[in-house]
Amino acid sequence: MSIHLTSGRWRLGLGLALLTTFLWGILPLGLAIILQGLDVYTVTWYRFLIAFVLLGIYLATAQKLPNVQNWRSIPWRLLGIATIFLAANYVLFLQGLALTSPTNAEVLIQLSPVLMGLGALAIFKEHYTRLQWLGLGVLTLGFSLFFHEQLRVLVTASDQYLLGSLILVCAAVCWAIYALAQKQLLQQLSSSEIMWLIYGSCTLLYLPVSTPTAIFSLTSFQFFILLFCGLNTLIAYGAFAESLEHWEASRVSAVLALAPIITLISVDTVALLFPLLIKPEHLTILAIIGAILVVAGSMMIALGKKQ
C-alpha cells in the first residue's frame, strides 16, 4: 500500500498545528457552558451540522465540492473508519468528562496525539532523531509533574471516576485511529473534501439520538456559545487536516500536546474576568515547572531536524 507523503512546507504545517492547538485548548470552556443547556448528543450533532453547512457553502462557492463522477474512486472503507472513530471520540470524551473532571479529561486525552505520533512512526515510516526522542522524554516528565495531583487522585479514585477515565482513554484511542486514517485519505481527497464528508456523515449518525428542538430553550449567550463550538469544530479540524498535508503527523502530534496548557491558562483568565462563570485552576510550583517542560519537549519534537 502506498502511503501519503507531506508537501514539505513545514512552516505552514507548524502554523496550522498551532492554530488547531489554540482552538482545541479553549474549546472545553465553551463545551462546559453549553452542556448546561443541551445534552451531549445534541451538542455534538449541532457542532457537526454547523461545520457541515458552513464548509459546504464555502466549497460550493469555490466550486470545490467533491465531484460525484469521481466518488467511485473514494476509499469509502477508510473514510468510514475515520468517520466512525471521530464520532465515537466526541461522545466518549464528553461522557468521560461528565464522570471525572475537566483537568483529568485534559491529561488523559493527551494520549491522542502521543498515540497518533507513535502510529505515524510505524505506518508512515516517519523517524525521530535523537533530539526528538529526548523531547518525548522531556514531554513525558513535564506531564508527570504538571498533572501530579490529578494522577494521584486517579489512583485513589472511586469506581465512577475510574470508569470515566477508562472512557477517556478509549476516546483517545478512537481519535488517534481517526487521525491516521485522515492522513492516509489525503492521497485521494483534499483536506476540506474529507472533513466535509466526515461532518455530513457524523451529522446523520447523531440525528436519531439528538434533540434539535432543544435549541429553543437556550439563552442568547448559550446560543452564541453553541455557534462558537460549531465554528471551532470547523476551523480547528480544517487546520488540523491541512497541517497533515504539509508536515509529519508525529510532529503535528507534538504541537497538539500543548492544548491542556492553553486550556488551564484560559480557565484562569475567564475565571478572573467572570468569577461566577467558571472556577479557576490553582497551579502549584511543581505544575508550573511541568508546564515549562511540556512546552520545551513539544518544541524539541516538533522542530527537531531530520537526520
Task: Grade residue 224 by pLDDT with cuts at 50, 70 and 90.
Answer: very high
With CA atoms as reference, report the closest residue to 79 among 191, 240, 235, 246.
191
Q: Which residue has the higher pLDDT, 255 or 306?
A: 255
Task: Give the model confidence (pLDDT) of 49-70 as tens digits.
Answer: 999 999 999 899 988 887 766 6
Separation between Cα atoms, residue 23 and residue 90, nearest integer Å: 15
| Residue carrying the nine cell digits 454547523 | 50
Which pTM does this prediction carry? Answer: 0.79
Q: Which residue has the higher pLDDT, 121 or 234?
A: 234
Task: Give the model confidence (pLDDT) of 154-210 as tens digits.
Answer: 566 567 778 888 899 999 999 999 988 988 888 878 878 888 999 999 999 999 999
Task: Give the model confidence (pLDDT) of 79-123 as tens digits.
Answer: 999 999 999 999 898 888 778 776 667 777 877 877 887 787 777
* CA angle 306–191–69, rounded 5-degree value: 130
Note the pLDDT of residue 307: 44
